[in-house]
A and B are shown apart, each in its own frame.
Chain A
Amino acid sequence: MQQRLERGEAAALGELYDRFASLVHSLAHRVLDDDEASDHATRDVFAYIWQNPHSFDPREGPMRSWIAALTQRTATSRLRRLQRSDGPCSPEEAERIEEQVRAAATAARADYIVTSMPSSLRAALELAYFQRRDYRQAADTLGVTEDEARRRLRLGLQLLSSAMTRPAMAPPGPRGRR
């Protein structure tokens, strides 16, 4: 993909978009919480990749993670820019924004964990969460025992929970607010 982008293939750009646009847009949306701003951030991210395909280094990890990190940076700097243009804000507001940025970073880590976890775990979570199957139905679909389905759901969530740097017993902070 990288070579094709470097070569200037428009078709590769389209494929890149098809593969990563929803990742980029959803991560940007987590930071910016606004459709239009997320659209802009999405444009910026793809424009950057298209203009600088060589800046991706495959030795540092998969392209998806690189793009996720790039999106984080792009969206965060857009958020701060928007914030500055609104003039000085209250400490509460500033804290709220920082929280938003942290939450988005957590989401990016979670995304990475979900995409890199064993596919057997991902498939079980997919069935239980997105397809709303109970674990017995999930076991049936996956052709495993009910014990195994329970194990996969629990292990999958345990892996996912490692995305939360905040200790589970931490004070609620701005979590409860909205």
Chain B
Amino acid sequence: MSGPSDPDGQGPPRAPRGTRESAAPGLSEEPELSEEPEGAGRPEGAERPEERGTASEAYRVPRQAAASDLSPLSGPHPPEVPRQADAYDAPDVSRRAEAFGASRRPDAPSGRPRPGPPRASEPLDHTVLKSLLGAWALAACSAEETAAVEAHLTDCAPCADEALRLRDAVGLLHSEDSLDLDPELRAQVLEGCLESRPARIPLPVWAAPFDAETARLDALLRDMAGDEWRAPVRLRWFDGRRETDRETTVAGILGHLLAVDGLVAAGLGLPDPLPDGALRVEHDAGPQARTELYWALDRAAPHTPAARRPWREQSHAMIRDVSFLTAAEAEGPEAAGGAADTAGAADTAETSARTRLVSYGGFSLPLPDAFLDRAFECWKHAQDIAEAVDYPYGPPVAAHLTPLVDLAARQLPGALAARRRAGLAPPPRGLAPAGAPGRTLHLEVEGDGGGDWYLPLDSPGARAGPEETVAHVALDSLEFCQLAAGHVPPLEAAAGQDGDRDAIRDVLFAAASLSRM
């Protein structure tokens, strides 16, 4: 294989071109640099001797050759050397280029195996050195090879030319994937678009949190480096009696999300991510059973970034299909009469969507609630992943937090009744017939997405209201979400409490019991 600057690929270096003459002094400096005592003249003293021979320093030399502008480059101060990235004025490239500067991997030289046998005693020939130029430009060869390449560049003009070009090309490498975009920007951009041209097939409002949260998790995954995919991630939930956890990986979490989202996907008529065979064994499997099945099938590739794609494709497909479904229902029978009444049409669509139930194995949720539930799970598991790889990860925007908090609050009376049926909570104090006023707990959630909920304590069907309140619990919305995710033990939740202790205890436990694997 031949480089463009060396078409014959072999043989002695061609005669240096004109400008190379002026390069000679620069090139001859290199050995001197490597012999310099450690830390001399180095800002911050960050460099270690073995890092001297990195491509960026050597890069300086061919650059000089090219630039024939030697004056600012004569001192051994790599940080002052104009780098490729500077020319392109792109912070993300500069950031990347930092990584290639003299201080690249200050912590890593020992982690980088240097198995390279080539010592000075057995010099590498031109062909081998030329083949190393790409690796050299990327600072991806051993210290010995780096030194050999750099020595070679001082007397081989074609290689020095190519080295320069390849080193410049490295400056052009950037990853759009590495860019950390503000998640709020997505909402702003989409909103701006939809104002200028309203969607004919809009997203149902209750699917918007799922849309935003899956996009946010996807952006986090994009930013993750390969080895971060192997980081252990802890799944935590409250099993009714105590906190439980389970260790998995990032890919394991995505498999879990994929398998449980699959309940909703299948309800929309999308293919189930679990094969028929697996489901025949375990009919109507709930979230945990489905996850275990998926993990068992997926054992071959549990740690790889490949887990991202099926999860993302399914979530996109769910958003697409649910939009079509509700759009069709909004245009349903009445649409002929009142097509202009879009708000009315949306209500009709929501009412009709609420009649569609998604089975979770032991229980079911109306389709809109299932989408909120999946958004909540996506957020919480994204948080688990972010924690494991030490990335910051904020809460959903306030507009999306509201329905998520509301879903959890609405589910509390049912969860309390389920705990009683399972013998995990004491029986109700009295019988409250459906519709009759009964003892009430006032749940006050503060902060974004907060509000007041009056929860019937004796029976989910009883009428709850301020005048029947026997207890008051106040807590922050994010703390409430942590509790409902099983990430905070019920008795340790930072909640202001007032009134009937037992009722408060029952409700806090019921909140934690909303969590699942």
Contact = CB atoms under 8 A, between A and B. Distances in A.
B155 interface: no
B88 A107 contact: yes
A111 B173 CA distance: 8
A82 interface: no
B409 interface: no
B: interface residue count bin: 35 or more
Contact of B87 (A42, A103, A134, A152): A103
B4 A154 contact: no
Given A9-B323, A168-B164, A154 B133 contact: yes
- Residue of B135, B142, B170, B177 most packed against chain A (CB within 10 A): B135
Interface in B60-83: 66-69, 72, 82
Nearest to A151: B1
A123 B440 CA distance: 61
B241 interface: no
B110 interface: no
Q: Interface SS of chain A: helix, strand, loop or mixed?
A: helix
A106 B88 contact: yes
A9 B200 contact: yes
A50 interface: yes
A21 B186 contact: yes
A10 to B, nearest CB: 4
Interface in A64-114: 99-100, 103-104, 106-107, 110-111, 114
Contacts of A174: 87
Contact of A176 (B82, B134, B200, B320): B82
Interface in B141-171: 141-142, 161-162, 164-166, 168-170
B19 interface: yes
A133 to B, nearest CB: 7
B91 interface: yes
Contacts of B441: none
B1 A131 contact: no
Contact of A33 (B91, B182, B215): B91
A11 B201 contact: yes
A176 B89 contact: no
Contacts of A39: 182, 185, 188
B494 interface: no
A175 interface: yes
Interface string A151-174: 111111110110110001111101
A157 B69 contact: no
Given A11-B316, A50-B197, A22 B177 contact: yes
Contacts of A161: 165-166, 168-169, 172
B86 interface: yes
B169 A169 contact: no
A130 B178 contact: yes
A144 interface: no
B113 interface: yes
B90 interface: yes
B148 to A, nearest CB: 13
Given A157-B166, A168-B161, A132 B108 contact: yes
Contact of B181 (A22, A129, A151): A22
Given A157-B138, A160-B173, A13 B168 contact: no
Given A9-B201, A50-B196, A153-B140, A172 B69 contact: yes
A17 B181 CA distance: 11
Interface in A110-132: 110-111, 114, 125, 128-132
B199 A130 contact: no
A149 B138 CA distance: 12
A110 B172 contact: yes
A18 B218 contact: yes
A29 B174 CA distance: 13
B482 to A, nearest CB: 28
B86 to A, nearest CB: 5
Contacts of A133: 140
Contact of A13 (B134, B172, B190, B227): B190
B193 interface: yes
A23 interface: yes
Q: Which 6 A-B pairs have the closest CB atoms?
A: A154-B134, A8-B200, A153-B134, A10-B199, A110-B172, A161-B169
Interface of A: 7-15, 17-18, 21-23, 25-26, 29-30, 33, 39, 42-43, 46-47, 50-51, 99-100, 103-104, 106-107, 110-111, 114, 125, 128-138, 147, 149-158, 160-161, 163-164, 168-172, 174-178
23 contacts: A12-B320, A14-B186, A17-B190, A26-B92, A29-B91, A29-B92, A30-B89, A39-B188, A42-B189, A46-B190, A100-B89, A106-B88, A129-B96, A151-B131, A155-B134, A157-B134, A157-B138, A158-B169, A160-B169, A160-B172, A168-B66, A176-B67, A176-B82
Interface of B: 1, 3-4, 17, 19, 66-69, 72, 82, 86-93, 96, 99, 105, 108, 112-113, 115, 131-135, 137-138, 140-142, 161-162, 164-166, 168-170, 172-179, 181-182, 185-186, 188-190, 192-194, 196-203, 211, 215, 218, 222, 225-227, 316, 319-320, 323
Given A29-B92, A46-B193, 13 more contacts: A8-B199, A9-B201, A9-B323, A10-B201, A26-B90, A29-B91, A30-B90, A39-B182, A107-B88, A134-B135, A134-B140, A138-B140, A151-B131
